[in-house]
Amino acid sequence: MTVREQFHNDLGELKRIIQELAEDTKKALSEAVEALYNKDVDKAQEIIDNDVKLDRKELNINEQAILLIAKQQPFAKDLRRLIIALKISSDLERMADYAVNIAKSTIRLGKDHPLDVHPKIRKMADVALDMVNLAIKAFEHEDISLAKKLAEMDDEVDHMYSSIIREMLEETATNPQMIQHIMQMAFGARYLERFADHITNIGENIFYLVKGETYDLNE
């Protein structure tokens, strides 16, 4: 096997691990949102405990990418591929942290809180999960046309977030005694909005990978 072939095999393995981290991150978010709706504090604690595994996976990706840079000394697009792998793994790890934050809100709300979780929070999560799928597909195929679609999906998440916050503020006006519980619900929506923002970061990084220049998906 030539050095070039070995490099591309190693790069393929790195992409595979990034895809695994993306699936783990999606699972963490999906389970965190379900735990929020079900008032399942035990599941929420399990999500928090499992986050260390995702942290280790990100560290493994970083170590492998840095090792490839040191050993192969790639240039041009191959170097960008490794730099983007580092950036994407960092975004995925931060996204998993937001899933953990939603789980923490579930625990703070407790098993017996009287509030119904806003239905748009689940819709926000559904769009965010679709965004992850699209972003990873765009990364795998180095497809900027797919990456561009992330901007519209992020706008949809932002609009739902704004709507939820307005309604939560109205709720605090009529139920001031429930302000702490309502705020935890609002935090959950905020964490989802930030989760989606990090996916647009991935889309922008794919543009850099393909074009070699920065691009703002939110313009």
Residue 8 CB burial class (10 angstroms; 0-12, 13-18, ≥19): middle
Show Cβ contacts of residue 152 under 8 Å, excluding neighbours closer than 6 positions.
Answer: none
Residue 2 CB burial class (10 angstroms; 0-12, 13-18, ≥19): exposed
pLDDT at 218 over 80: no
Domains of the chain: which residue ranges? 3-211
The tens digit of pLDDT for each residue in 17-29 reads 999 999 999 999 9
Residue 142 CB burial class (10 angstroms; 0-12, 13-18, ≥19): middle
Calculate mean pLDDT across residues 151-164.
Answer: 97
| Among 162, 153, 109, residue whose Cα is nearest residue 127 | 153
Contact 117, 37 (CB under 8 A): yes
What 3-state class would DSSP assign to 143?
A: coil
Find the helix packing angle between 119-141 and 3-38, rounded to 10°: 180
CA atoms of 145 and 138, how far apart (whole Å) = 8
Q: pTM score, two decimals?
A: 0.95
pLDDT at 219 over 70: no
The tens digit of pLDDT for each residue in 94-138 reads 999 999 999 999 999 999 988 889 999 999 999 999 999 999 999
What local confidence, expressed as pLDDT, does residue 28 receive? 98
Calculate mean pLDDT across residues 26-53.
Answer: 98
Find the helix packing angle between 144-174 and 179-211, rounded to 10°: 170
Alpha-helix runs per DSSP H in 39-75: 41-72
Find the helix packing angle between 3-38 and 41-72, rounded to 10°: 170
What 3-state class would DSSP assign to 213?
A: coil
Look-up of token digits 């702490």? 180
Quickly name the fold that domain 3-211 has.
Methane Monooxygenase Hydroxylase; Chain G, domain 1 (1.20.58)
- The two tokens of residue 38 are 């079900």
